[in-house]
Structure 1
Amino acid sequence: MAKVLITGATENVGTAVIDALSKLQHNLDLYAGVRAINEDKNKFANYTIQFSKFDFTDFTSYQPALAGCDILFLLRPPQISEVEKYFKPIVDTCKAEGVKHIVFLSVQGVENSKIIPHHKIEQLLVESKIAYTFLRPAYFMQNFTTTLRHDLIQHQQIYLPASRAKFTLIDVRDIGKVAAKILINISAHINQSYDLTSKESLTFSEMAETLSRNLGIDIQFKSPNLIHFFLTKRKEKMPVMLILVMIMLHYFPRFQQEPATTDWVEKITGRAPTSFEQFIHDHRTLLKA
């Protein structure tokens, strides 16, 4: 029985992976990597899973969590960008403990964007000679129920410096389903990379129109300049690092080639990816005040 450690287990993607695995037959020995076992295990009361203390900022947690681990599901917390400081020790520990495969949650377009941490992490994994699978998802639909929710609920607007840039989208639940299918058949995905998208490519103006139509609320899209965006978010007490991540996610795509949609979700899971309208329908309560 292969031991699988899922990092970021309490976050959107980690939880989606665990949920998707719970709906499939498998022989995996699942461990949720969490920072505080006693507090976090309640979230998984309905799942068959064990727990390991794993904290990206606590180097002493790496070895005990990875001991005996065969497969690691690795993601990058948004607040951690120092690859050499945090991710190299993780990869070195994986090598020392005999981890056989790492499934890494990267980002679409990473191969053409050397400034983002995911690019360096992918390079680190390739150089480690550990078998890998790179999941490169598009823009998370769940951003509307997390980082963008405040503006949506309080101001009925999307406030981002994205202008007319087009974004491919993905429902985090579909990422979980893809990851689950890969984890239970890992040998079929050795050293592969998959761009994960829905079938849609939309501007934020188009997303605002879709939200308005489906929620029955007039949602406006406003694209501020970078100074106004930064100052507005600082007034809202958003951490500087998160503001910079928001700028990287939404401003730089204005100067890049429009990302392509792919059919990997359907190929791997056997089901069509979730549409943006379906996502809105499923999360209607969260998206309305």
Structure 2
Amino acid sequence: MKKVLITGATGNVGIEVIKCLSKVNHPIQVFAGLRNVEQHQKKLAAYNVSFVKFDFTDSTTYKSALQNCNILFLLMPPQVSNIEKHFKYFIALAKAAGVEHILFLSVQGVENNKIIPHYRIEKLIAKSNIAYTFLRPAYFMQNFTTVLRNDMVNKRIIFLPAGNAKFTLIDVRDIGMAAATIIADIKNHINKAYELTSAERLTFGEMANKFSAKLGIKIQYQSPNLLKFYLTKRKEKVPTKFILVMIMLHYFQRFRKEPPISDCIEKITGRQPISFDQFIVDNKALLVN
């Protein structure tokens, strides 16, 4: 029986991949890589999954986690920034361990953006000669239920330096189903890259209007200059590195072409992607105080 290792197994995307694998027919043994097995396995107790200790910041966990692994679902955790130190070594170990296929969670537009670390990771994977599939998702709708939730719920604002830039969106549930479908039929996705988006392209002002209409409360969008954004977030004790990531993700989109809309979700899963309106309805309990 083939084995798939899911890294980031308790994160937003990792959990969805495991959930969706439980809904898809496949003869694959699913392993969740957890930093603390005893502490985190309860989150996945409802699914047919085994557990293995894996921590990207602890290279001593790499070899045992990769043992007998055929398929690797790989993502970049936010706490890992040194690509050469962590990913180059990990990918080399994966090749030595006999990993046959890497499914990497990248980002939309990565092929034209050498600044972001996902670009270098894709290149390392391709250079390894391990078969790969690159998932390049758009802006996560679930950012509003995680990193942006405090502003949404407590201040009723979207506070981001994105101006009037348009963003494509994706619900992580669609990423999970796309990943699970590919894992179950991996031989038909060798050395391919897929942009994952919904059918919408919206500004944050338009998103705020949709939130207001669906939640029944007024959500305002504020686009501060970079200095105000930085100082506001530092006052909230947000780490400087994370503020810079938020600036890179939101501010620089103002100077790029509008991102394309893809039909890859429908082609891979056979169903239409989840709309932003549906995301709001499904997550209403998390979006109001």
Same fold per TM (> 0.5)?
Answer: yes
AA aligned to 1:136 is: R
Aligned to 2:13: 13
Shift of residue 56 of structure 1? Answer: 0.5
Could you say which residue in structure 2 is the equivalent of 1:103? 103
**Cα deviation 1:5-63 (Å, max 9, x = unaligned):** 00000000000000001111111110000100011111111111101111000000000
C-alpha separation in 2, matches of 1:153 and 1:175: 25
1:44 corresponds to: 44
The offset of 1:240, in angstroms, is 1.2
Are 1:117 and 2:117 counterparts?
Answer: yes
CA distance in 1: counterparts of 2:78 and 2:248, whole angstroms? 12
In structure 2, distance between residues paired with 1:183 and 1:230: 40
Q: What amino acid is aligned across from residue 9 of structure 1 in structure 2?
A: A
**2:64 corresponding residue in structure 1:** 64
Q: Is the 8 A contact 1:79 1:242 kept in 2?
A: no
Taking the TM superposition and a 5 Å limit, the aligned residue runs for 1:119-134 are 119-134=119-134
In structure 1, how many angstroms separate the alpha carbons of the residues matched to 2:207 and 2:78? Answer: 23
Tell me the residue number matched to 2:219.
219
Match in the other structure for 1:76: 76
- CA deviation string 1:215-234 (max 9, x = no partner): 00110000001111111111
Cα distance in 2 for partners of 1:256, 1:238 equals 26
Count residues in correspondence.
Answer: 289
Distance 2:86 2:228 in 1: 33
Q: Secondary structure at the match of 1:102?
A: strand
Q: TM-score, normalised by structure 1?
A: 0.99
- After superposing the two structures, state which structure 1 stretch, 132-141 or 42-51, moved more: 42-51
Task: Find the counterpart in structure 1 of residue 274 from structure 2.
Answer: 274
Question: Contact (CA 8 Å) 1:79, 1:241: kept in 2 or not?
Answer: no
Partner of 1:40: helix, strand, or coil? Answer: helix
Residue 236 of structure 1 is matched in structure 2 by 236
**What is the correspondence of 1:81-230 to structure 2 with a 5 Å cutoff?**
81-230=81-230
Secondary structure in 2 matching 1:81? coil
Cα distance in 2, alignment partners of residues 264 and 81 from structure 1: 29
Secondary structure at 1:229 match in 2? helix
Write the distance in 1 (CA, Å) between the matches of 2:220 and 2:144.
14
1:79 Cα offset (Å) = 2.5
2 CA distance for matches of 1:33 and 1:109?
28
Give CA-to-partner distance per residue, 1:170-193, whole Å, 9 cap, x none.
000000000000000000000000
1:248 match: secondary structure: helix
Please report the TM-score for the alignment, with normalisation by the length of structure 2.
Answer: 0.99
Hey, what's the Cα distance between the residues in 2 that align with 1:191 and 1:104? 11
Unaligned runs of 5+ residues in structure 2 are none
Q: Is the 8 A contact 1:2 1:27 kept in 2?
A: yes
**Where do 5+ consecutive residues of structure 1 fail to align?**
none
AA matched with 1:7: T
1:4 match: secondary structure: strand
CA RMSD in angstroms, aligned pairs only = 0.5
- Distance in structure 1 (CA, Å) of the matches to 2:280 and 2:135: 24
